Amino acid sequence: MENILRPIYQERASHPDTLAIIMIEKRNQTSPLTDNLDVALLVIVNKADQDLHVKHYEYEDQNASLTLVTNKQIEEWILLGTNRRIIDWILNGKVLYDRNEYLVELVDRLKTFPFSERKLKIGLEYGKLIRRYLEGKVFFEAKQLLDAYNYIVHALHHLARLEVIDRGFHPEITVWNQVKQIEPQVYKLYNELIESDESLEKRLELLFLASDFLIHSKAAVGAAHILTVMSDEETWQYAELLNHEEVSLYAVDLSVLLEFLVEKEFIQVKRIETKGKGIYHRGYSVVKKY
């Protein structure tokens, strides 16, 4: 198939905006990695009219995709973890073209995982962990056990990703294989949830207790990024945080994370007067000991 696709990717390689081209071949009969196509081509460009553009091709009994994506989109996927297979593609795909060692440097960055990136990704996972946990707890208290189960599985997944990142690794699609080696305690929680002979209600009850402890024990690590950012100013209003370049990445999880950190006394609330009598803006400040 590579020979058939060669004219396509050679044309792309000749374009001055093309940074790299990678080929990913189907590994198994069922291959979500390539969307069950025989081959996937990833073309990374410096700029394009669209951040993401995908084409499908067919030749005789084989098929392929070509994904043209900007460097900006690649960076966003890596940072936010919204396209986890991209790590696999970059680390394990066959390099067909690499302008000025763009890929060499990107792979090196992925493997070294700079601390500043790690700290931000941990914060994002921690915010998602808290939201999923609290939403699951509401369902559990309302005896909606299947919904509670769904949310606590998601919460554990974010906890697992947090543990992997904290050890200096990018979470893979097979994150539980990583966690089994890295943090057996978290893996055991997940295993007990899905394999225990206890009733679902009892399993969830025990898991919420254990998760509550783990979430609190990870607070300093999980909140390190946002507390560092907030330490730059004496007081922040919510809108100011939401417009901050890095803090805005927390998106819908920012509010619940702030309230959690207020409750745990990492952050304190300061009242700021408004024109309305008895109505105040909430200002958020880092407690000095942090």
Please tell me whether residues 10 and 97 are part of one structural domain.
yes
Please tell me whether residues 262 and 228 are part of one structural domain.
yes
- Look at the chain and report how many structural domains it folds into: 3
The CATH number of whichever domain residue 7 belongs to comes to: 3.30.460.10
Please tell me whether residues 17 and 41 are part of one structural domain.
yes
205, 222, 239 - which closes a domain? 222
State how far the Cα of 161 lies from the Cα of 153, in Å rounded to an integer.
12
State how far the Cα of 15 lies from the Cα of 42, in Å rounded to an integer.
15
Are the CB atoms for 267 and 287 separated by under 8 Å? yes
Please tell me whether residues 211 and 236 are part of one structural domain.
no
In this prediction, residue 1 carries a pLDDT of 65
Closest to 83 (Cα-Cα) out of 32, 9, 119? 32
In this prediction, residue 235 carries a pLDDT of 95
Please tell me whether residues 157 and 236 are part of one structural domain.
no
In this prediction, residue 256 carries a pLDDT of 96
State how far the Cα of 220 lies from the Cα of 229, in Å rounded to an integer.
14
Phi-psi group of 113: left, alpha or beta (phi > 0 → left; psi -120 to 50 → alpha; rest → beta): left
Please tell me whether residues 144 and 180 are part of one structural domain.
yes
Per the structure, the complete domain to which residue 273 belongs is given by 224-290
112, 147, 178 - which closes a domain? 112
Please tell me whether residues 138 and 87 are part of one structural domain.
no
Q: Whole-prediction pTM value?
A: 0.87
CB-based contacts of 282: which residues, under 8 Å, 6+ apart?
237, 238, 269, 270, 271, 272
Please tell me whether residues 92 and 122 are part of one structural domain.
no
Place of tokens 């294989």: 177
The CATH number of whichever domain residue 159 belongs to comes to: 1.20.120.330
The CATH number of whichever domain residue 240 belongs to comes to: 1.10.10.10
> Which residues of the chain are modeled with pLDDT < 70?
1-2, 289-290
86, 112, 138 - which closes a domain? 112
State how far the Cα of 75 lies from the Cα of 71, in Å rounded to an integer.
6
Please tell me whether residues 167 and 97 are part of one structural domain.
no
Please tell me whether residues 13 and 107 are part of one structural domain.
yes
pLDDT in tens, 197-250: 999 999 999 999 999 999 999 999 999 999 999 999 999 999 999 999 999 999
In this prediction, residue 10 carries a pLDDT of 87
Q: Cβ–Cβ contacts within 10 Å for residue 116, how many?
A: 11
In this prediction, residue 289 carries a pLDDT of 67
